[in-house]
């Protein structure tokens, strides 16, 4: 079972992005936002839970269990998003260190890479991110050399 504390501990041991990717992929492959069917069985209006109880009790109990299942689904979606953000932050932080840029700069690059490649999985997002980061480095170098040549002319 995944929880925020465990994921944070797991990410502390990651030294580079290549350490995070398999963890992130494993999370996406195994984390489900579907509630446990034994704890939160599916019911629909009109179902009877206990024939020995009144119609009203059954209606109220079915409604209560439907709400409980919905709330569990919402909790799981929220947890999935929170854990995904932890993995993405770790990737951004490690890439920022690798490319010697700020976390804010790498977040912009990662966001664009995500926008372009998220349909193809985290490895493709990473490839696109690296391409964009390389382009950003080249642009910064070109900008510095242009400034240097202007100052020599002056």
- 51-85 pLDDT, tens digit per residue, is 999 999 999 999 999 999 999 999 999 999 999 99
Whole-angstrom Cα distance, residue 115 to residue 154? 42
Residue 145: what pLDDT? 81
- Is residue 122 packed enough to be buried (19+ CB in 10 Å), middle (13-18) or exposed (0-12)? buried
Whole-angstrom Cα distance, residue 80 to residue 75? 9
Residues of the chain with pLDDT under 50: none
Residue 118: what pLDDT? 94
Residue 87: Cβ within 10 Å count = 21
Indicate the domain borders of the chain.
4-153
Residue 2: what pLDDT? 86
Q: What are phi and psi of 24, to 5 degrees?
A: -65, -45
Residue 102: what pLDDT? 96
């Amino acid at each position: 079972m995944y929880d925020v504390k465990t994921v944070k501990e797991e990410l502390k041991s990651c030294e580079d992005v290549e350490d995070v990717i398999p963890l992130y992929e494993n999370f996406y492959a195994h984390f489900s936002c579907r509630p446990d069917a034994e704890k939160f069985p599916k019911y629909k209006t009109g179902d009877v839970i206990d024939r020995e109880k009144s119609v009203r009790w059954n209606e109220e109990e079915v409604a209560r269990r439907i709400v409980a299942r919905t709330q569990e689904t919402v909790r799981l979606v929220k947890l999935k998003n929170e854990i995904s953000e932890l993995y993405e932050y770790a990737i951004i932080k490690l890439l920022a260190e690798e490319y010697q840029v700020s976390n804010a700069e790498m977040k912009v690059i990662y966001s664009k890479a995500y926008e372009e490649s998220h349909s193809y999985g985290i490895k493709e997002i990473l490839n696109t991110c690296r391409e964009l980061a390389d382009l950003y480095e080249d642009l910064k170098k070109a900008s510095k050399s242009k400034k240097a040549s202007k100052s020599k002319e002056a």
